[in-house]
Structure 1
Amino acid sequence: MADAATTPTRTMMQRDQASAALGMVVELDEPGHAVVSMRVRDDMTNGFHITHGGFVFTLADTAFAIACNEDHTVTVAAGADITFLKSTVAGQTLTATARRRARSGRTGLYDVTVVDEQGDAVAEFRGRSISTNRTI
């Protein structure tokens, strides 16, 4: 794992109030690779008592953001898609693993797999990134 004091995402995540409010934990932060976990709370479930898809997307999006911000250039999402594969419930822990698939010029492509505590796939997310002219 990269030294947390020197990774550009450290500053980004210190400012990320949404991920902090959801209780996300950065497990791994390496260039092009990130792992983030989150325990599903009761207030993260929908009317069917299953995890709201928006929270699964947000977890995957956070792992994607960490993976694509691998240098000191601010990189943001240009687009993302998600496929939900399995429902989960409050009390379960979800883990999102993001990996860079391609990076060329200012754009990148990243895949994120979200699994439950049993290792079963919950969702597959594909994010497309674009680097800005700003620095972290």
Structure 2
Amino acid sequence: MKHKYTNLKDLQPDQTSCLYQRHIKDTFHASLGVTLLVCEPGYCLTRTKIEPQFTNATGAVHGGFLFTVADTTAGLAAIHSGSEGTVTTVDSHIQYLRPALNLDNIYAEAEIVKDGKRLAFIDVQIFTEDGSALVKGSFTFARLVLPNSKVPTKDDPCGCQ
């Protein structure tokens, strides 16, 4: 996956977007420190600040944490694809390419490969500020419409109203 954005250090989130507003209300994402930088239909880029509690005994970022960041970023791309409803992960595959050591931030980029009526297939890569790949993965999400929940619709693409 070739990175869409290269000047990562200076990239700031679009705090006016409804998906950003929905994202910051999610307490799970907030506890991870995942910041939504860019989200376009079928594509999302996030930045995550690495805290000591996210590292393992060797000082590397824990693989489970990296997986969660990849899943979160892929899910944001799936939600923002223009389809109605929300999504849930139904399948995933991840490869750890190198240890994530001595990092202040990691970046995750997710891009929809195929977006169907019921399933979305997404490729994700986690990398460092200089573009070195740490993790690559593929995720499959099922599309759901849950009763009485705030989910994206054609009139409210982020489920914020």
Task: State TM-score, norm by structure 2.
Answer: 0.75
Q: Look up the SS of the partner of 1:87 in the other structure.
A: coil
2:60–2:99 Cα contact (<8 Å) kept: yes
Structure (1 or 2) with the larger CA radius of gyration: 2
**CA deviation profile, 1:28-70 (whole Å, cap 9, x unmatched):** 1112100011121111111111110011111111111110002
Runs of 5+ unmatched residues, structure 1 = none
1:40–1:90 Cα contact (<8 Å) kept: no
Residue among 9, 13, 16 paired with 2:26: 16
Matches within 5 A, 1:1-136: 4-7=16-19, 10-11=21-22, 13-70=23-80, 71=82, 72-134=84-146, 136=151
For 2:41 and 2:135, the matched residues in 1 are separated by 22
Q: Look up the SS of the partner of 1:46 in the other structure.
A: coil
Instruction: Give runs of ≥4 in structure 1 deviating > 3 Å.
Output: 1-7
1:41–1:91 Cα contact (<8 Å) kept: no
Counterpart residue type for residue 81 of structure 1: H
Higher normalized strand content (fraction of residues): 1
Q: How many residues align?
A: 134
Task: State TM-score, norm by structure 1.
Answer: 0.88
Q: CA deviation at 1:120?
A: 0.4
Runs of 5+ unmatched residues, structure 2 = 1-12, 152-161
From the superposition, tell whether residues 80 and 74 of structure 1 become closer, same or farther in structure 2 (CA, over 3 Å): same
Same amino acid, percent of matched pairs: 22
Q: Look up the SS of the partner of 1:67 in the other structure.
A: helix
From the superposition, tell whether residues 30 and 42 of structure 1 become closer, same or farther in structure 2 (CA, over 3 Å): same
Aligned residues: CA RMSD: 2.0
Q: Look up the SS of the partner of 2:65 in the other structure.
A: helix
